[in-house]
Structure 1
Amino acid sequence: MSTVHSPVGGHVPVAGGLATGGLKYAEQIGAEAIQVFVSNPRGWAQAAGRPEEDARLRDSGVPVFVHANYLINPGSPNAETLEKSLASIRHALQRGHAIGAGGVVIHTGSSVTWSYEEAMRQVHEHLLPVVAEIPEDGPQLLLEPMAGQANMLCATVQQLGPYFEALEHHPKVGVCLDTCHAWAAGHDLTASGGVKATVDALVEAVGPDRLKLIHANDSKDPCGSGRDRHENIGAGAIGEAPFADLFRHPAVAGVPFIIETPGRAPEPHRKDVETLKRLRDNLPAS
C-alpha cells in the first residue's frame, strides 16, 4: 500500500464566484480538493469567466477539477447535439485551463439510435481533434463511465479500452471513476477483492497512470441496477469498506476523491469528507 495520500474533497457550489463561493464551501466541509461547474450543467449556454475569480482559484493551491455539462454526448447521431457537445467540451477545457484545473470530466455518452460502431467512429473523428487542441499545460479530458443505461458507450471499466483506442490513447486523456456508476454497471465493490478487481481491470483496459479522479459516491440501489442514484458515504448499498479498499490500491495513490453526495447544506458533505479522511488515515501501515 502506498503512503501517498489522496486528497479528499467535494463538488462545491460557486454562488458569488468560482473562488468566493467554491473556496468558502470547501473550507466549511474540510475539502482538500474541489470540483466545480463552469456553466449551467443542464444547458448549453457557455458562461464567461471572471478573471479575478479565476486567478484566486488558480493561485489557491487547492486541486481543482471541472465537471462539464450533463448534456454532452460525443456519440450522438444528432448533428446539432454533436456540435453543441464539442463546443461545450472546448469551453470547459478553456475555462479549466484558466482556473488551473487538473482535469475536465465528461460523461462518455450514448449511441442513442445508431450502432456502437458508428458512435465510436464519430468519437474518433470528432472528439480526438478536440483533445489534440489541449495545450501542454492544459487540463486532461477525463472520461467518466456511465451507470449502464441502454446504449451507453462506456459503463464497465473494460469498456474504457475501446474508447481510449478511439482517442488513440492520447496523453491528454484520463479517467474519472465514479463508484456509484461502477456499482450500477455491475462491478460488485462489496465482494471480497471486488475493488481490487475493478481497479486492476481499469488499469488493464487503459494502461497505468490514467486514473486521475475518483467520484466517491455511495448508492441507493443494488449492484447492477443501472440506476445512478447517489447516497452519502456508508449510508447506501456500497457501505464504507470498499472506499477503504480504494485508498489501499496502488493505482489510486494520490488520486483525489470528490464526493457528489446528497445534501444542500455543508453538514452532510462535511460528514462524508470526514468519513473518507478517516478511512484513508486509519489504513494500516504497509
Structure 2
Amino acid sequence: MSSSSTSPIGGHVLVSGGLATGGLKYAARIGAEAIQVFVANPRGWALPEGRAAEDARLRDQDEIPVFVHSPYLVNFGTPSEATLEKSLASVRHSLDRGRAIGARGVVVHTGSAVSQSYDAAMKQIHEHVLPLLDEIPDDGPDLLLEPMAGQGAMLCAKARDLGAYFAALEHHPRLGVCLDTCHAFAAGHDLAAPGGVDATLRELVDTVGTGRLKLVHANDSKDVCGSCKDRHENIGAGHIGEAPFAELLRHPEAAGVPFIIETPGREEGGEPHRRDIETLKRLRDA
C-alpha cells in the first residue's frame, strides 16, 4: 500500500490453532491486509481468557490492523436486566481482550429495544454504556457502533439513526462507527444508485461528524435495497455490485479506513474470500 490514506483490505479470519497462529495463517491465505476476529464464542456469553504468547504475537506485529467483533447476543437496548448485564460484561471482555491483542476497535451491533420504548432504551444506553466508554484508556481500542439492517425494533439502521445514539453517549471520543454495506443497503441506503455512496457518507458525517468512520464491513447483498434482510453476498455477485465499492474506496471520508469482508466462503477453504479481497484491491488500486 502506498500511503496512510490507502485503505487496507482484509477479512474476518478463522483462528483454529490459536488467535494469532490461525488468524495470521488464514490472513496470508486470503491476502488480507487487515483482520477481524472473535475473542469469544459469537453466539454465547462465555468470557474466555487469552493465551499470552498468542496475544503478544498479534499485539507486537504492526503490519496488519486488527479489529474485534463482539458476540452477536450483545444488546444494549434490551429490557432484560440479565441480558443487559451479560451484554456489558461481554463488551467489557471484548475491549479488554482487544487491548491485549493491540486491536484498533471493537465492533458492537447497535441493538434492539425489543419490547420497551425507544426512549427507554436510549436512557438505558446513556446510564450503562457511557461508563463503559469512560473505562477505555487513551490508547483504545475504540468502541465501533454497527447499525443494523432495519428489521424489528432495531435502534439504528440508517446513518441518521446514529444521531440519538451518539447523543446518548455524549459523543464520547472513544466512540466510532463501523459501516456495513449490506446493512446500509438493506436499511434503504441505495448504494447502487448514482450518487448513493456519497449521499450515505454525507448523511453519516452530517449526523456524527467527520472522522468517526473507523471500519467498513464490505459485503454485497443477496437482497434488494430496503429489504431489511441481512444476507451477505460476495463482492459483485449481489444487488450492490462492484462499482459502489470502488466509489466507497475513493471517498475522502473512507480514506485510510480498513475494509473487512464478511462474505460467504469459509466452507470452501477461503477461496471466495481471497477472490473478494482481490476484487476490492483491484477496485482500490485502479
Query: TM-score scaled to structure 2, two decimals?
Result: 0.97
Match in the other structure for 1:253: 255
Q: Alpha-carbon deviations, 1:214-259, whole Å to 9, x = none?
A: 0000000000000000000000110000000101110000000000
Match in the other structure for 1:11: 12
Unaligned 5+ residue runs, structure 1? none
Distance in 2 between the 1:278 and 1:248 partners?
12
- Aligned residue pairs, count: 281
Q: 1:162 is paired with a residue of what secondary structure?
A: helix
Distance in 1 between the 2:249 and 2:16 partners?
32
Match in the other structure for 1:238: 240
Distance in 1 between the 2:88 and 2:263 partners?
28
Distance in 1 between the 2:270 and 2:73 partners?
27
Match in the other structure for 1:268: 272
Query: TM-score scaled to structure 1, two decimals?
Result: 0.97
Q: Kindly, what percent of the aligned residue pairs are identical?
A: 72
* Cα displacement (A) at 1:138: 2.0
Distance in 1 between the 2:134 and 2:149 partners?
28
* Cα displacement (A) at 1:3: 8.3
Distance in 1 between the 2:60 and 2:264 partners?
29
Q: CA RMSD in A?
A: 0.9
Distance in 2 between the 1:248 and 1:280 partners?
7
Distance in 2 between the 1:256 and 1:233 partners?
16
Match in the other structure for 1:279: 283
Match in the other structure for 1:48: 49
Distance in 2 between the 1:257 and 1:118 partners?
34
Distance in 2 between the 1:46 and 1:4 partners?
36
Match in the other structure for 1:100: 102
Q: Which runs of 4+ in 1 moved over 6 A?
A: none
Q: Alpha-carbon deviations, 1:256-286, whole Å to 9, x = none?
A: 000000012121000000000000000xxxx
Does residue 25 (structure 1) correspond to residue 26 (structure 2)? The answer is: yes
Q: 1:75 is paired with a residue of what secondary structure?
A: coil
Unaligned 5+ residue runs, structure 2? none
95-104 or 259-268: bigger deviation: 259-268
- The correspondence for 1:201, drawn from 200, 203, 211, is 203
Match in the other structure for 1:170: 172
Distance in 1 between the 2:99 and 2:50 partners?
11
Distance in 1 between the 2:140 and 2:16 partners?
25
Structure-to-structure mapping, 1:35-184, within 5 angstroms: 35-61=36-62, 62-184=64-186
Does residue 191 (structure 1) correspond to residue 193 (structure 2)? The answer is: yes
Letter in 1 for 2:154: M
